[in-house]
Structures are given as structure tokens and as C-alpha cells.
């Protein structure tokens, strides 16, 4: 299993190509949010299996499983 430092470094290198992100501090902040959203999505998937009446508080189009699976990334919202 690769170490987390190597994974973060690889992600930072990818994000350096993004014109909308400037500086390592902003990249780390965005990585933190992405990891948080992934953890929340995993927890919600677990809750959906445990409880038949579980309803997510996150709108469907903003759930990790819906936008991260899109090869184009998040789409523009009206």
C-alpha cells in the first residue's frame, strides 16, 4: 500500500496543472475537502445499507458518488 505522503504529492502534481488553483495551501485545502466528501459518501452508503429510511442531507448532484465518477468532473450548476 502506497504511503499517504506519496498519494498527496501525486495529487498535488496533478492539481498544479489546474489553472484555477494557485499555491500549495489552496491545493491542500481542496484535497482536505475532497477527502472529507469521500468519507461522508462512504458513511452515507453504509447508512443506506443499515437503515431503509436513511435520507442524505447532501443534494444528489453534489454527492461524491455522482460527480467524482464523472470523467469530466463536476458540471456547472445553474
End-to-end CA distance of the chain: 40
Total residue length of the chain: 78
Give the list of residues 6+ apart from residue 46 with CB closer than 8 angstroms, or none.
none
Q: Give the model's pLDDT for residue 51.
A: 94
Q: What are phi and psi of 10, to 5 degrees?
A: -60, -45
In the chain (78 residues long), the average pLDDT of successive 10-residue segments reads: 73 76 76 86 94 91 81 54
User: Can you tell me the distance from the alpha carbon of 47 to that of 55, in angstroms, rounded to the nearest whole number?
Assistant: 9
Q: Give the model's pLDDT for residue 78.
A: 38
SS3 percent helix, strand, coil of the chain, rounded to 5, is 60, 0, 40
Q: Give the model's pLDDT for residue 67.
A: 80
Amino acid at each position: 500500500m502506497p504511503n499517504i505522503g506519496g498519494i498527496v504529492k501525486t495529487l498535488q502534481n496533478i492539481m498544479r496543472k489546474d489553472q484555477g488553483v494557485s499555491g500549495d495551501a489552496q491545493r491542500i485545502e481542496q484535497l482536505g475537502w475532497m477527502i472529507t466528501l469521500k468519507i461522508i459518501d462512504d458513511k452515507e452508503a453504509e447508512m443506506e445499507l443499515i437503515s431503509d429510511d436513511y435520507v442524505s442531507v447532501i443534494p444528489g448532484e453534489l454527492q461524491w458518488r455522482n460527480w467524482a465518477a464523472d470523467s469530466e468532473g463536476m458540471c456547472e450548476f445553474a
